[in-house]
Amino acid sequence: MSVVIRLQRTGKPKQAHFRLVAIERSRGSTGKPLEVLGSYDPRVESAGRKLQLRRERYEAWLKNGARPSQTVASLIRAGQKAPASTEKKP
């Protein structure tokens, strides 16, 4: 069983919302995930609120051999680099 961590699209047409899921590689894009690890909403303005991740479960899946997709890996890297506050100073 090869497990991958990837995005699973939910939401209405033209109002995308994604779940970060641990799922078997052989299952389709709408298949039942093994576990939901978080969510990603690209429509949110604040960079810190776009990605919601249960980091301890994500790390556990990585230790068990799951591999993140390229998109998930880049989102997590961007989330770590996001500034704590995006307000402009006068």
CA dist., res. 67 & res. 25, Å (int) = 10
The pLDDT value recorded for residue 9 is: 92
Q: What single letter denotes the amino acid at residue 45?
A: E
Distances (CA, A) of 36 to 25, 40, 46, 83, 86: 15, 12, 22, 26, 28
- Domain limits, the chain: 3-81
The pLDDT value recorded for residue 89 is: 44
The pLDDT value recorded for residue 21 is: 94
The superfamily (CATH) of domain 3-81 is Ribosomal protein S16 (3.30.1320.10)
Cβ neighbours of residue 55 closer than 8 Å, sequence gap 6 or more: none
pTM of model > 0.75: yes
Q: Does the pLDDT at position 88 exceed 50?
A: no
pLDDT, tens digit, for every residue of 15-68? 999 999 999 988 877 789 999 999 999 888 876 788 888 999 999 999 999 999
